[in-house]
Structure 1
């Protein structure tokens, strides 16, 4: 998993379209290696730089990540997102490069390189080549899903064919053209990548960074849920859980580590179980470099939305005051699967699909299966209701807490707001002021960074929001 081809991957990334780069790629530097064998191309999948997914802006908008008071004063973009400033011109404030955009497209470029060349590489069987090709297809589709659900409006069937998404690039060539396609075209492209990859994926991954058959099924379920296609989402959730249905026992983890977790004033405790070998992983993917070693802190108001007795929360954050800032401080160390897919997400996709089909008792059985591994026995009670709205709210609350600081709560909120039944909005009071994020706010779609719009490579980019 070493960062073997980081330099080459960066050179291939979107936006680095200088003519000197083309010369650089044509002439292999002395002592460097040009990929030719399948192992050379497969190394891009082991490169953890290519697996990073940064969703900082979404975390700030949801207040899933605490922003220091001094940072709010000095960084106007962070202030606009965190305090829900409808009047702020976020486009004007995005004057520097943004890792959400460039990291995601950098990964896409690396995956394009594999897709273009793996089948013609050397020192491997045809079957081995096809596996790597298929893994790159899944990874590319995941990156496009992330960048689309960050910068474009959410999928709505009636408007998806007319609204623009993000630039589509299918070649790693430095001069490859790009086209900003519609949301429908992008979802069709993503689904087709999964479909083409599916027959060649292994049941067991070579490493946690490599997507397997369960990853593809789980990702299918995620995509179809975002498209409000609950029949297909349920179908693929079941197929994914047939590949892996394990849940990590956070209650047992807390009991084994509570002697250090509960020490007053101690903010360094256990090692994160959410790393490469997390039993719930279908595939592991990092968040941003900010997440390496420890998780971001979360606001006090956000911490209050966790259930009483939630030891997954208790094992990860502890309240702390530093000068004028009070927040829940991250206390684990290690790795965190912020960008991949886990069984918990798929269980909760299944629960939502069942609830929408009015199979409330079945949905809650799935939900409670997850909750029992998270809530202390002294605090635990089954959620039991025949009311669809109550069941849906319980499922969505658990999912938001389980996937906090990933893109999924942001994508779910946009999906739910567009649907109009289970709308998501927030209100908070800070420094004597009341702030509101309405369900129909334009803030739910992130603007492209200025660097991407002004230097779009061989294409054009139209902003998806006015400010």
Structure 2
């Protein structure tokens, strides 16, 4: 007996394929047998809704914070309780059975299994009208785009960065494009995985071509497909392709950049949509999101804060006073940590919790996940153009973002321009899960430095002064130990 579970917006339905029992085949009364699950266009919509439920569970939470605490922006407070401790410390304590690793690996592959079942099942549905055909195409497009999204998140975590000279031989992740409970695939190459991602993106763009992008779309659109394509091609060092996809989204003008601190604070604090290409739905009950709750630690009883992680002083200082992101991404708080009360500690305030999603009088840190937003797309356009040798286009994209955020434009070129783009990427995308993977693809190490207050953080060579060389083994995560035991075809990454 095999079971496939699909998370729906309001419930979970188990899809179970049963063997015939003598001459009588019985289906369970409380679930749907998988061969019966794809009959009508309504079935397609049910699976499509389930796809978004699964996707929402793979954004934010450990899918973002694990790699951010591993990088150089944050210090572990004395009260962090070893939550996310292993990736933060690197070293021998960061093992391949760590929760961050297992969660990402199993979570993305669960999503892929659901998508593969849906893609195969959609072929069994016969449409009876043009409208039904369009609905089915949308569901198919959503599935292909979700699979591309999952595989890209797997490859950037569990494989070396894409290098054109070695991608055809570097080990990637196992490729599964059909649901098979008993499959034991070996690792595909990095190039094979990226080729599959591009193939899925190509199909998704065709199927979603008539699904126009809108601000804060709750579902995939053609603009979401282009945003993911731009991100993927940037990692592939396909500078022309990345710029083309990114500039197409920018040129349509649907997602104007925010230029006032009030609007930017509302955008993050109350889930504004102006810059969002895809913002998943969330509620405080039936569609609860993952939370990025390590940054504030609000103590409702006394109004103080007890965060797990605190941004370093150099990170806060990296933003000029005129930068509207500084007053949005950070907030000075009085903290109570390990028996000490300290005022004016800048905490990450990018995810304070949307008051409309509170389940009580104080924050539960629920936010509607921002999957693709235009700020990243401008940075992709800038970097891709610069790497392709087109400084004019790079400066146009870079300065559009800088000016909107309240800082001066630049007129740099060459390596200085590249560094300006990296710096702006650091500022714009801070605490959104990009930093570690950017350092990895740049082949840059780091040394943590300049914390805000030594008295309230863990100190030492594994914490505030940790130094990690470029291309250190654990920039690439290890494959989970259990999977290596179950599937002897898998090969572990070096250093694990």
TM-score range with shorter-chain normalisation?
Answer: 0.7 to 0.9
Quote the Cα distance in structure 2 between the aligned partners of 1:28 and 1:291.
41
CA contact (8 A) 1:215 1:283 kept: yes
Match of 1:156 in 2: 163
- The partner residue of 2:125 within 96, 121, 124 is 121
Residue in 1 aligned with 2:371?
A: 340
Which deviates more from structure 2 when the two are superposed, residues 294-303 or residues 436-445?
294-303
Contact 2:111 2:147 (C-alpha < 8 Å) held by counterparts: yes
Change in CA separation of 1:274 and 1:293 when aligned onto 2, cut-off 3 Å:
farther
Measure how far apart 1:366 and its partner are. Answer: 1.8
What is the rounded CA distance, in whole Å, between the counterparts of 1:404 and 1:167 in structure 2? 30
Query: How much has 1:190 moved relative to structure 2?
Result: 0.5
Tell me, in whole angstroms, the C-alpha distance in 2 between the residues paired with 1:300 and 1:425. Answer: 13
How much has 1:384 moved relative to structure 2? 2.8
Task: Quickly say closer, same or farther: Cα 1:119–1:221, change in 2 above 3 A.
Answer: same
Cα shift at 1:225: 1.0
Residues 1:462 and 2:486 aligned together = no
- Secondary structure of 1:311's partner? coil
Q: Flag the structure with larger Rg.
A: 2
* Partners of 2:218 and 2:280 within 8 A in 1: yes
Q: Distance in 1 between matches of 2:27 and 2:325?
A: 49
Aligned to 1:204: 212
* Correspondence for 1:144: 151
For the 8 Å contact 1:91–1:448, the answer to whether it is kept is no
Alignment size in residue pairs = 426
CA distance in 2, matches of 1:5, 1:113: 20
Pick aligned residue for 2:58 from 49, 52, 56: 52
Q: Which blocks of at least 5 consecutive residues in structure 1 are unaligned?
A: 13-20, 258-269, 418-422
Match of 1:18 in 2: none
Deviations 1:103-142 (A, max 9, x none): 2112212221221112323666233212211111011001
**Cα distance in 1 for residues equivalent to 2:391 and 2:420:** 11
Secondary structure of 2:95's counterpart equals: helix
Q: Which residue is equivalent to 2:422? A: 396
Q: Secondary structure at the match of 1:106?
A: helix
- For residues 68 and 241 of structure 1, what CA distance do their matches in structure 2 show? 40
Change (3 A) 1:28 1:91: farther
For 1:278, what is the secondary structure of its paired residue? Answer: coil
Partner of 1:290: 291
CA distance in 1, matches of 2:50, 2:73: 31
Distance 1:311 1:361 in 2: 25
Which structure is higher in helix share?
1
Q: For 1:454 and 1:367, locate their aligned partners in 2 and report how far apart those are by CA, in whole Å.
A: 47
Q: Is the 8 A contact 2:240 2:385 kept in 1?
A: no
CA distance in 1, matches of 2:257, 2:100: 40
Report the CA distance shift for 1:96/1:361 in structure 2 as closer, same or farther (over 3 A): closer
CA distance in 2, matches of 1:28, 1:48: 25
2:460–2:466 Cα contact (<8 Å) kept: no
- 2:47 paired with 1:41: yes
Further displaced range: 156-165 or 60-69: 60-69
Q: Offset of 1:209 from its aligned partner? A: 3.7
The alpha-carbon distance between structure 1 residues 96 and 404, as it changes in their structure 2 partners (threshold 3 A), is: closer
Q: Is the 8 A contact 2:239 2:384 kept in 1?
A: yes
- The Cα shift of 1:232 comes to 1.4
Aligned-pair CA distance for 1:327: 5.5
**Aligned ranges 1:263-274 → 2 under 5 Å:** 272=268
The whole-number CA distance in structure 2 between the counterparts of 1:97 and 1:353 is: 30
In 1: Cα distance, 2:105 partner to 2:425 partner = 25
Aligned pair partner of 1:180 in 179, 187, 190 = 187
State whether residues 319 and 329 of structure 1, in contact with CA within 8 Å, keep that contact through their aligned partners in structure 2. Answer: no
Counterpart of 2:196 in structure 1 is 189
Cα drift, residue 252 of structure 1: 4.7
Q: C-alpha offsets along residues 65-103 of structure 1, whole Å, 9 cap, x if unaligned?
A: 55333446x46xx44432443xx1533663797221122
Pick one of 391, 400, 414 that aligns with 1:360. 391
Residue in structure 2 matched with residue 109 of structure 1 by the alignment: 113
**Tell me, what secondary structure is at the counterpart of 1:69?**
coil
Q: Is the 8 A contact 2:57 2:289 kept in 1?
A: no
* In 2: Cα distance, 1:7 partner to 1:209 partner: 20
Cα distance in 2 for residues equivalent to 1:159 and 1:242: 34
Q: Which residue of 1 aligns with 2:472?
A: 441
In the other structure, the counterpart of 2:447 is 426
Q: Counterpart of 1:228 in 2: which secondary structure? A: coil
Distance across 1 between alignment mates of 2:97 and 2:57: 27
Please give the alpha-carbon distance, in whole angstroms, between the structure 1 residues aligned to 2:396 and 2:404: 13
Query: Deviation at 1:147?
Result: 0.9
Alignment of 1:214-229 (within 5 A): 214-229=223-238
For residues 100 and 327 of structure 2, the distance between their equivalents in structure 1, rounded to whole angstroms, comes to 36
Q: Secondary structure at the match of 2:260?
A: helix
TM-score by length of 2: 0.75
Aligned residue for 2:29?
30
Q: Which moved more, 1:190-199 or 1:297-306?
A: 297-306
Matches within 5 A, 1:214-363: 214-253=223-262, 272=268, 275=271, 278-284=273-279, 289-291=290-292, 298-301=310-313, 302-320=315-333, 321-324=335-338, 328-330=347-349, 332-334=352-354, 336=367, 340-363=371-394
Which residue matches 2:362? Answer: none
